[in-house]
Chains A and B, each alone.
Chain A
């Protein structure tokens, strides 16, 4: 499990929620936007696509989409394949 903004979480300054990210449990700050999540993951300038609760989330909606408890997020990219 990966924790975002560890120092702030430890200080108890933020409300932590549990989501599912790429099929794994993940803890994030409530209200974190998808854009901010991608920054945290080092994927902000990468060619990725996001599915949010089983719906495609267009890039244009990343900045205003905020994480809520039990959200299911998939982040995919292209890899080698036939």
Chain B
């Protein structure tokens, strides 16, 4: 018998969330599809990007935050597209102004366009600056347990290692590194990036991750709304399996039916 685990709520920066699925708002066909997929996912925390307004274009286009209301969702602005600490910090400051002082941000500082791999040294620099400025930082990073610990010790409110590259859909490529990160963590650990389908989400949750952040796996699915539903169930199933405690793996068979009383 494996021991079952005690459930504990997901608490990020002092707020308790009932959904362990966080979703992005990029790559959808239109705002209707965005809204429907996000509603179906059951997510309570939703990421957005901060970008220049299009000067001279129709200003009456529907706004994302009219569809994904900050009254209903916790909006998590990201620093996607930033390749150094300075730009990431600037973006976070603009995001805080945009969100009327709301200071929860997703920090991601990327190394290059091709891999979008986290630029760890710039990430550490930006995280330090943002924390000193009062931001609550959820940080995207590599699956390096040493760096994850350093970001936690620095005061990040959640550490979010990749499962595989952003938008790759390659799933959880190094579960053992995630296990090392989880073993020592005192803040929520979220897999951010890499999930491709429902089983990937379940695997991450079965490892003991506190939550998962995903975008492309839902938005680029053939039917994004149906995939949002699948992801909601996969995250819940994975969490329950983690709490229940899986059976030990064995090399040989172990009969499910009793041997006694067979007619042979």
Chain B, residues 203-240, CB within 8 Å of chain A (1/0): the string is: 00000000001111000000000000000000000000
- Say if the beta carbon of B179 comes within 8 Å of chain A: no
B34 — which chain A residues lie within 8 A by C-beta? Answer: 80
- Say if the beta carbon of A12 comes within 8 Å of chain B: no
Residues of A51-82 at the interface with B, using a CB-CB cut-off of 8 Å, are 51, 54, 56-59, 74-82
Q: Is A81 touching B78 in the complex (CB atoms < 8 A)?
A: yes
Instruction: Report the minimum CB–CB distance from A51 to chain B (whole Å).
Output: 6
Residues of B39-70 at the interface with A, using a CB-CB cut-off of 8 Å, are 47-53, 55-56, 59-60, 63-65
- Say if the beta carbon of B28 comes within 8 Å of chain A: yes
Q: Could you tell me how many residues of chain B have their Cβ less than 8 Å away from some Cβ of chain A?
A: 37
Q: Is B55 touching A80 in the complex (CB atoms < 8 A)?
A: no
- Say if the beta carbon of B77 comes within 8 Å of chain A: yes
- Say if the beta carbon of A41 comes within 8 Å of chain B: yes
Q: How far is the CA of A47 from the CA of B64 in the complex (A)?
A: 10
B75 — which chain A residues lie within 8 A by C-beta? Answer: 78
- Say if the beta carbon of B151 comes within 8 Å of chain A: no
Given known pairs A23-B52, A41-B59, A77-B51, the reply for A82 and B94 (CB within 8 Å) is no
- Say if the beta carbon of A36 comes within 8 Å of chain B: no
Q: Is B97 touching A46 in the complex (CB atoms < 8 A)?
A: no
Q: Is B59 touching A46 in the complex (CB atoms < 8 A)?
A: yes
Given known pairs A22-B53, A75-B52, A76-B94, the reply for A82 and B47 (CB within 8 Å) is yes
Q: Is A76 touching B98 in the complex (CB atoms < 8 A)?
A: yes
Other-chain residue from A22, A49, A59, A74 in contact with B95 (beta carbon distance below 8 A): A49
- Say if the beta carbon of A16 comes within 8 Å of chain B: no
Q: How far is the CA of A48 from the CA of B55 in the complex (A)?
A: 12
Given known pairs A80-B49, A81-B26, A82-B24, the reply for A51 and B94 (CB within 8 Å) is yes
Q: How far is the CA of A77 from the CA of B94 in the complex (A)?
A: 9
A74 — which chain B residues lie within 8 A by C-beta? Answer: 52, 94
Q: How far is the CA of A48 from the CA of B95 in the complex (A)?
A: 9
Chain A residue nearest in CB terms to B52: A22
B49 — which chain A residues lie within 8 A by C-beta? Answer: 78-82
- Say if the beta carbon of B186 comes within 8 Å of chain A: no
Residue picked from B26, B49, B60, B214, most chain A C-beta under 10 Å: B49
Show 23 A/B contacts (Cβ-Cβ < 8 Å), sorted by A.
A23-B52, A43-B59, A47-B98, A49-B50, A56-B96, A56-B97, A74-B94, A75-B53, A76-B98, A78-B49, A78-B63, A78-B65, A80-B26, A80-B27, A80-B28, A81-B26, A81-B49, A82-B49, A82-B78, A82-B167, A82-B213, A82-B214, A82-B216
A residues sitting closer than 8 Å to B (CB atoms) are: 2, 21-24, 26, 41-43, 46-51, 54, 56-59, 74-82
Which 8 residue pairs of A and B lie closest in terms of their CB atoms, listed nearest first? A81-B49, A82-B24, A82-B215, A42-B59, A49-B98, A49-B97, A80-B25, A78-B48
